[in-house]
Structure 1
Amino acid sequence: MRFLRDDGHLARLLGRLAGGALPPLPPAAAAALVTGVLLAAGLGAATGITLFAPVAALLLAGAASAHPHGGRHDPLAVPLLRGAEYLYLLALGTGGGVPGPLVFVLLVVVALHHCGTVCRARQGAGPPDRAARAALGWDGRMLLAAAGGALGWLPFAFGALTGYLAVLLAYGAVAGWARTPVADLADTGDEPGGAGASTT
């Protein structure tokens, strides 16, 4: 369950420093709340207070990344982190002058990455593979977008992040297909009623 959080390197580092002692739901809820408040205070524009939101979310939610997530309500941390990331990218992109189609495509690519993580969990595939781990995590993606806004390169940052994630998704899909064994086709030509059965 813990890998469904899609934590990046910085969040996992904070989790190791905290030793897994923090329960995941309260920090994730606080991170989502703080992100929403900072976005509302900055009116979604690429201002200093808005650009600080990923740092606040990372410091709050990242420290709980090493928790086993075995509690009854611990899985609720995952949609809270997802919502905070989607809301941040949407608000920052629309308020920072990024073309609407580019913001939409980035959100779709991130959502597809999250869907892939969930599908792996349902199929019992275990933790994310190398391509999924290279997707920077929710914290890395938010920080990269914030850095682009701070440098005045927000459209470029959104475009680069979209292209990078799209390449990772394509690579992960091809690699997954290559690892999937192809079932031998049953030869039904000589079976009664099969394609090769006599009609006389």
Structure 2
Amino acid sequence: MTITLTEAPPAAPVARQIGRLQAYRDDGPICTTIGRLTLGRLIPLPGTVVAALTTAALLLVAGAQEHAIPVLYAPLVALLLTGPSATHPHTGRIDWLVPPILRGIEYGYLAVLGFAQGVSAPLIYGLLAVLAYHHYDTVYRTRQHLWPRGWVFRAGLGWEGRMLIAAFAGLFGQLSAAYAVLAAYLGVLFGVESVIAWVRADRGSGVQVNLEEEAEEAS
């Protein structure tokens, strides 16, 4: 199966500049800033695994207490454990595990926190669906050589920014409103940017991308 697609314009090709796995992390400005402090020398997987285990533990503790302070600790701890490795090239043999673990941290945190504080299921699903679309779109576009733009990741707040907003909103009893605003804002941002990118690709001169050959090479 051969698909004709177009190379995106050269401005701000995030995935080429920092590598696909780093693009798949979906780090925001805070995480990226912390990562620059270590100059990309910290191996990403150990801290990411510890962050996942710590987030799960803090959510369990928060569920057993009257006050939800540990809920705020979870994204802070995850940020401090994973942020220093944000600029690492992710060239290790199993560094491909880092992005899916981060997705599990973010999706799991938003889902557990939402259900624990009585946010309606459709609203939780809507927010997670928007994020899932963005992450799927990022992966698929890089495979087709349509590199995402840097401003999209910054405007999308990153996984850490979205978790921190949810944590603070939950502490003040405004989680439903925060989820609604995030779902609407991110839905427009990611949806419109994605549509524009694909429309521009269809109008340009094509680049042949054979998905079957890519699958064979990956295996």
TM-score range for the pair, normalised by the shorter chain length: 0.7 to 0.9
Does residue 24 in structure 1 map to residue 48 in structure 2?
no
Aligned equivalent of 2:110:
89
Asked which structure has the greater RCO (Cα within 8 Å, sep 6+), the reply is 2
Structure 1: tracts of 5 or more residues without a match: 185-200
CA drift of 1:183 comes to 7.1
Aligned residues: 184
Does residue 75 in structure 1 map to residue 96 in structure 2?
yes
Does residue 38 in structure 1 map to residue 49 in structure 2?
no
Aligned equivalent of 1:154:
175
TM-score by length of 2: 0.79
Aligned equivalent of 2:83:
62
Match of 1:126 among 136, 144, 147: 147
Aligned equivalent of 1:99:
120
Instruction: Write 1 or 2 for the structure with the bigger share of helix.
Output: 2
Aligned equivalent of 1:174:
195
- 1-side partners of 2:131 and 2:121: how far apart? 16
Does the C-alpha gap of structure 1 residues 133 and 122 become closer, same or farther in structure 2, counting only changes over 3 Å?
farther
Structure whose alpha-carbon radius of gyration is higher: 1
Q: SS of the residue aligned with 1:79?
A: helix
CA drift of 1:181 comes to 3.6
State the percentage of identical aligned residues: 45
Mapped contact 1:44–1:50 kept (Cα < 8 A): no
CA drift of 1:32 comes to 0.7
Mapped contact 1:44–1:94 kept (Cα < 8 A): no
TM-score by length of 1: 0.86
> What does 1:46-57 align with in structure 2 at a 5 Å threshold?
47-57=68-78
Does residue 163 in structure 1 map to residue 184 in structure 2?
yes
CA drift of 1:179 comes to 1.4
